[in-house]
Chain A
């Protein structure tokens, strides 16, 4: 299984919206609605932001949303805030009881 493909970096200004893509294959992202997204600030543990493609855990801002089309999942952050600056990782079930992560995307808030 290969890592899911994410852009290395994205950026946006406060108040804007950005979208981070996560491209897999028909063996992982394309076959299961089991994509999750994590936010990681420097030196901290990842935090669950989205699970099962588009569900938000309690306490996560509704500015964060997820979607999927074919083999590509996406995380959209609306109304960008300075605190959103972090690394973001996607994750998908890859069959045979295994999990694969994306390479990560660094979000810069300009």
Chain B
């Protein structure tokens, strides 16, 4: 059973860079044909896809966030990571990592981690 777990600071100051890591257990991040995605959800609002990465390092990003987002993968640690630069209060949200089965749907999700942008 694949499990995903997000980790990282829960509080980030405005204009700084948000950094999160997703650790995958129960299987190798490199096995199978999967992308690994980040998705966020502001409190009381809907889901927003941020981007995804294949284990080869190939990435796709949401056009509205592309200029500020970097997703990377560390196959030796079975992890992938998110960096979002120049954050503002609008970036405050629960951030989820999820497995993407190449066909743009997400079958396994992490529990989510709340990141608050505030000084």
What 1/0 flags go to B84-119 for Cβ under 8 Å of A?
A: 000000000000100001011111011110000000
Q: How far is the CA of A3 from the CA of B47 in the complex (A)?
A: 9
B31-58 CB contacts (< 8 Å) to partner A: 45-49
Task: Determine whether the beta carbon of A99 is less than 8 Å from that of B109.
Answer: no
**Cβ-defined contact, B109 with A89, below 8 A:** no
**Bound: A51/B41 CA distance, A:** 20
Secondary structure class of chain B's binding surface, majority of residues: loop
B63 & A98 in contact (Cβ 8 Å cutoff): yes
Give CA–CA (A104, B63) in the complex, Å.
21
* CB <8 Å contact, B106 and A104: no
In the complex, chain A residues whose CB is within 8 Å of the CB of B101: 51
Interface string of A35-58 (1 = CB under 8 A from B): 010100000111110011000010
Q: Are A46 and B109 in contact (CB under 8 A)?
A: yes
Please give the number of chain A residues whose Cβ is less than 8 angstroms from any Cβ of chain B in the complex: 26
Query: Is A98 a contact partner of B105 (Cβ separation < 8 A)?
Result: no
Chain A residue nearest to B47 (CB atoms) is A101
Beyond A46-B47, A100-B49, A103-B45, 9 additional pairs, beta carbon < 8 A = A45-B110, A46-B106, A52-B103, A52-B105, A89-B46, A91-B104, A93-B103, A93-B104, A104-B45
- Which B residues lie at the A interface, using CB under 8 A? 45-49, 60-64, 96, 101, 103-107, 109-112
Can you name 24 A-B pairs with beta carbons within 8 Å? A34-B103, A34-B105, A38-B106, A45-B96, A45-B109, A45-B111, A46-B96, A48-B105, A51-B105, A52-B103, A52-B105, A57-B107, A89-B47, A92-B104, A97-B60, A98-B49, A98-B63, A101-B46, A101-B47, A101-B48, A102-B46, A104-B45, A104-B46, A104-B47
